[in-house]
Structure 1
Amino acid sequence: MAQNLPPQESEFQFVSNDLSNLPISGEVVGDSRTYFQDVKRRLFHNKIAMVAGIILLLIVLIAFLGPAFVPTDPNAQNVLFANLPPKIGNLNIPGFNGMQTVAGHTVDAYQQAHVPHGTYYVFGTDYLGRDLFARVLYGTRLSIIVAVVATLLDLFIGVPYGIVSGLASERVDTFMQRIIEIISSVPDLIVVILLLIVLKPGLTSITIAIAFTGWITMARLIRAQVFKLKENEYVLASQTLGESKTKIAWKHLIPNLSSTIIIQTMFSIPSAIFFEAFLSFIGIGIPAPNASLGTLMSDGQKAFHFLPYQMWIPALILSLIMITTNLVGDGLRDAFDPQSD
C-alpha cells in the first residue's frame, strides 16, 4: 500500500532567491566608452606620438608667435655683419659663441666685424647680413602656411570627388577615374612648373600648384572606402527609404570616413612641406626676398663648406617637422584602429 511521503527538497534548489549580487555572464565591468573616447585613450597611451605632437606644437607656436617677440625684419640687410656665426649672449657654448675659424685660426667674428656690444645673432647671419633667426621663423611659418592651405585644398577637392565617384553609376565612376589617371600620369614636377609659368610666382601660385595634383591620393582612398561602406545595411536601408545620395553622404558616409580623412590629412602635410621646400630649393618656389625653409637651404648650400650652419639649421627644422608629423599620423592611424589594442 502506497504511503504519502512528504515532498523532498530538490538537490538543485537555490539557497537564496536573491540573484541581484550574482555576476551575469558576459557583463562588461566598468564604464562604457564611445568610439572616439577609445580613440582618445589609445592616442594618449602612444608615448611616441604624444612626444612628437608636443614637439610639433612647439615648432608651430614658435613659428607663429616668435615674430611678435622678435620684431627683427627678416629682409633687413647689413653687409658689414655678413656671415656672422651663431652667438647666444656672452655664454661660451661651443657653436654658439661667435667664434669662427679663419685661415686656420679661431677668431671672434663679432669683434672683427665691430659688432656693437650686446648685439648678437642666435643663428648667425647670411651673406647679406640678414638675421637668420628671424628668417628661419618667418620661413618656417611660410612653409607651414603653404602646406596647410594646400592640404585643405586637397581635402575640399579630394573628399567630394571620391564620394561622388564611389556613389555614382559605373559609367560616371569610370569617366571620373580616367580623369584622375590622366592627371596622375604626368609627373608632378612638370605640372607644377607649367602652372608656375602660367601663374604669377608667389604664395598663391605655389599653393595652387602643390594642391593641383595632391588631391588625387585623397580621392582614391575615399572612393575605396565608399565602396565598402555603401554595402552596409544602414546605407542600403536609407536607399530603400528613398533618401538622396547627398543626405546619405552627409549622414552616413562622412562620419564613417572621418578617420581616413584625418589620417590622410596628417600624412599630406609633410609631403606638401617637402614639395614646397624642394621647389624653393631649385629656385621655382617662393620668390626672393621672402624666405621659406627651401630658400634658406638653397642659400646655405652655396656656402656649406665654409658656413655649414646656414644650411644645417633650416634642414634640421624641416626634418623635425616632417618626422614629428609622420609620427603623429602613425599614432592617429593606430588610435583609429580598434584592433590596435
Structure 2
Amino acid sequence: MSQNQTSPANGFVLANHDPANFSNEGINSETRTYFQDVRRRFMHNKIAMTSFIILLLIILVAFIGPFLLPTDPNAQNVVYANLPPKFGNLNLPGLNGMQDIGGKTVNAYQAAHVPNGTYYLFGTDYLGRDLFARILYGTRLSIIVALVATLLDLVIGVPYGIVSGLSSERVDTFMQRIIEIISSVPDLIVVILLLIVLKPGLTSIIIAIAFTGWVTMARLIRAQVFQLKTNEFVLASQTLGESKWKISLRHLVPNLSSTIIIQTMFSIPTAIFFEAFLSFIGIGIPAPNASLGTLMSDGQKAFHFLPYQMWIPAIILSLIMITTNLLGDGLRDAFDPESD
C-alpha cells in the first residue's frame, strides 16, 4: 500500500501511517514525582527563595562566625564602653567611629585611646563588650533554642495527633480534653511557672517553650489523620490486618509530611520570638549569656543616646522572623498542587 494517497475530490495528499510506526511514537513529556513538583514550585517562588538564602546566610554566619572570629562575647573592658560601630579605616557614615558628645562630633576611638587597628564592627556595650561577638553568639543561641523547642514539638505533637486520630472516640475525647486544658492557660503564665520551678537557663527555656508549643501540631495532625484514615489504602491495610503502628509509619506519616514541614516552619519563628520576649523582660537567658532578647533589653536602656545597640539585634530578629514566615508561606504553596 502506498504511504501517500491523493484524494480525487480535492487533490489533497492524505498521509496513511503504518500502525506499526505508532509504537515508535510517544509523547515526550517529563514525568516528575510529587516532591520534584514541590521543589519546582518552590524554586519558582522568588520571594521564598530569597527568604531561604537570607535565612541560610544568617544561620551560617551565626554558627561559623564565632570559629572564624574567636572573640569572647563576655570579655569586659570598661575603658572601651559604648564605642560606636567602626569598620576599619573607611570613612563610612555610621561606621567611622564618630560620636556626638556634648553637641560635638568626636572620634570616640581616639578619645578612648583605642590602639590603631582595633575596631568594633557593631560597637561596644556599656561594659565594653564586643557587640558583634555578642550578636553572633546571641543569634546562634536563639536559633538553637528555637530548633530544639520545635524538635520537641515534633516528637510530642506528631505521635499525639496520630494516636488521637486513630484511637476510639472515648480515647480521642480524653486526649483532646488534655489539649484543651493546656490551651486554656495562657502560654506566658505556664512558662513563668515552669521557670520558677526549674533552674533558669537554656534547658529551662527550651522545656518551657515546648511545653505548650506541641498543641498546635497535635491538633493539625489529628485533623489530617481523620481525613486520611477513611481513604482506601488505609482501609485496605486494616483489612489485611496491619497494626496501627505500621499503618502510621507506612501510610500516614508520608502523607502528613507536608503538614509537618509547613507547621514546623511556622513554629520556628514563634519559638524565637517567645525566647526573645522572655529574655527581654528578664526571665529568659540569664546574664552574662547573650541572646537577641537580652541584647535588645540592654540596648533599650540607652536607646535615646546609643540607638545602634538596640537597632542591630532588633533588625536581625526581624529578618529571621520575616524570612522564616515567608519561607513557610512558600513551602505551603509548594506543597499545594493547585498552586500551579
TM-score (norm 1): 0.94
C-alpha separation in 2, matches of 1:327 and 1:16: 56
C-alpha separation in 2, matches of 1:221 and 1:299: 38
Q: Is 1:177 matched up with 2:180?
A: no
What letter is aligned with 1:207? I
- Aligned pairs for 1:256-267 (under 5 A) are 256-267=255-266
Question: Secondary structure at 1:228's aligned position in 2?
Answer: helix
C-alpha separation in 2, matches of 1:53 and 1:28: 36
C-alpha separation in 2, matches of 1:21 and 1:266: 52
Question: Secondary structure at 1:77's aligned position in 2?
Answer: coil
Q: What's the offset of the Cα at 1:15?
A: 5.9
Unaligned runs of 5+ in 1: 1-10
Q: Is 1:276 matched up with 2:275?
A: yes
What letter is aligned with 2:41? R
Unaligned runs of 5+ in 2: 1-8
C-alpha separation in 2, matches of 1:66 and 1:193: 33
What letter is aligned with 2:111? Q
CA-based RMSD: 1.6
- Aligned pairs for 1:212-231 (under 5 A) are 212-231=211-230
C-alpha separation in 1, matches of 2:322 and 2:34: 28
C-alpha separation in 1, matches of 2:97 and 2:179: 54
| Corresponding residue number in structure 2 for 1:329 | 328
C-alpha separation in 1, matches of 2:62 and 2:310: 18
TM-score (norm 2): 0.94
C-alpha separation in 1, matches of 2:19 and 2:195: 77
| Corresponding residue number in structure 2 for 1:95 | 94
Question: Secondary structure at 1:276's aligned position in 2?
Answer: helix
What letter is aligned with 2:181? I
Q: Is 1:163 matched up with 2:186?
A: no
Q: What's the offset of the Cα at 1:295?
A: 0.1
Q: What's the offset of the Cα at 1:21?
A: 5.4
Question: Secondary structure at 1:106's aligned position in 2?
Answer: strand
| Corresponding residue number in structure 1 for 2:83 | 84
C-alpha separation in 1, matches of 2:20 and 2:326: 48
Moved over 4 A (4+): 20-23
Q: What's the offset of the Cα at 1:69?
A: 1.1
Q: What's the offset of the Cα at 1:28?
A: 5.5
| Corresponding residue number in structure 2 for 1:320 | 319
What letter is aligned with 1:149? V
Q: What's the offset of the Cα at 1:29?
A: 4.0
C-alpha distance after superposition, 1:49-94 (max 9, x if no partner): 1111011000000000000111110000000000000000100110
Q: What's the offset of the Cα at 1:18?
A: 1.2
C-alpha separation in 2, matches of 1:17 and 1:57: 56
Question: Secondary structure at 1:120's aligned position in 2?
Answer: coil
Seen in structure 2, the aligned counterparts of structure 1 residues 223 and 22 have a Cα distance that, compared at 3 Å, is same
Aligned-residue sequence identity (percent) comes to 82
Seen in structure 2, the aligned counterparts of structure 1 residues 17 and 86 have a Cα distance that, compared at 3 Å, is closer
| Corresponding residue number in structure 1 for 2:33 | 34
C-alpha separation in 2, matches of 1:15 and 1:87: 79
Q: What's the offset of the Cα at 1:20?
A: 5.3
C-alpha distance after superposition, 1:272-315 (max 9, x if no partner): 00000000000000000000000000000000000000000000
| Corresponding residue number in structure 2 for 1:297 | 296
| Number of positions where the alignment pairs a residue of Structure 1 with one of Structure 2 | 327
Q: What's the offset of the Cα at 1:22?
A: 6.1
| Corresponding residue number in structure 2 for 1:7 | none
Q: What's the offset of the Cα at 1:16?
A: 2.9
- Aligned pairs for 1:89-238 (under 5 A) are 89-238=88-237
| Corresponding residue number in structure 1 for 2:5 | none
